[in-house]
Structure 1
Amino acid sequence: MKTEIKFCDERDLPKVLELLTKVFEKQTRRYFERKLIEPDTKTLAIFVDDRLDSTLTVCDREDYIGKSRMRMCGIGDVATSSEIRGRGFASKLMRKAVNVAQSEGYHISMLFTDINKERFGFKTVKRMFSKVIDKSCPKPTVPVEVIEVSKLLDLTEFDLGDF
């Protein structure tokens, strides 16, 4: 059994799209197609005997914390085939993505998920706001509170080095 962790190339994208649309049933294929072709987006995957079993997306972004411009590694779309969940494939990809972020000089990494990932060094931050942008989406059933981003989190509690 040959296991390979690698960044995907164009030849792998059909397999990636198939897995993502299978795992995230509520999203359309087009949604993932647009995300995967963004120039600063890479897909990290585990192949077992040339079969794609698990994947995640890494996005290179810049963001500001206070007046400091920081390079941010966004991690998302973590997906594993239902047949093999629980075998540690997503954990291997998460560790690899965190190592890549550290070795490539990212200042901060963000992961949006409902699943606790503190074992990979992430801190859980309660989601405090959202806004519906697409008018075709149904209106929220509860009041939406708009909060300044600076009030969401006191970043001094995290180890940001000299920032």
Structure 2
Amino acid sequence: MRGFEIILAMALSLSPNLLIVIGSFLLQNADELSLSAAKQEVIAQYKMHQAEQEAGAKSASFEISENGFVRYRRINNDKTEYYSVKLDQLKDLEYLGDETKGWLVLKFPEETVIYQTYNDKNGNVDEMLEEIKIPMKNVEVSQLNRLQNAIEKLKQSF
């Protein structure tokens, strides 16, 4: 407690303009920490509940870049599906299913999501979509609420 009193006494002796700068810096860092925590929460929930292999995928990945792009990749029988979209475009988030299994549906305005396929025996696709469906398993309502809150925090930050 003594350290806090010393810091408070030092802060009171500083000029008001310097206090504003320090306060702004601390708030900015607090926002960055909560942004980082939100990003980690989304990735952790994805890793904990991903069900791509149950849906037939060999592998999958979900990333959120530093500038707010969501990149979701799924590989099925050598066919690679790739989705990319800016998170601030998110319109709605839904979960279709039950606690055992379901789909997390990220909805965006029309023609916002970049969708590409590679090594597709029917020919590669390059088109624009309006949603990303991610298979999930063993997810409780409280975990979905945490996921939604974290995604909303990220959306507002970008």
Specify the TM-score bucket, using the shorter chain as the normaliser.
Answer: under 0.3
Higher strand share: 2
Which structure's CA Rg is the greater one? 2
Task: Compare relative contact order (CA 8 Å, sep 6+) and give the higher one, 1 or 2.
Answer: 2
Higher helix share: 2
TM-score, structure 1 normalization? 0.26
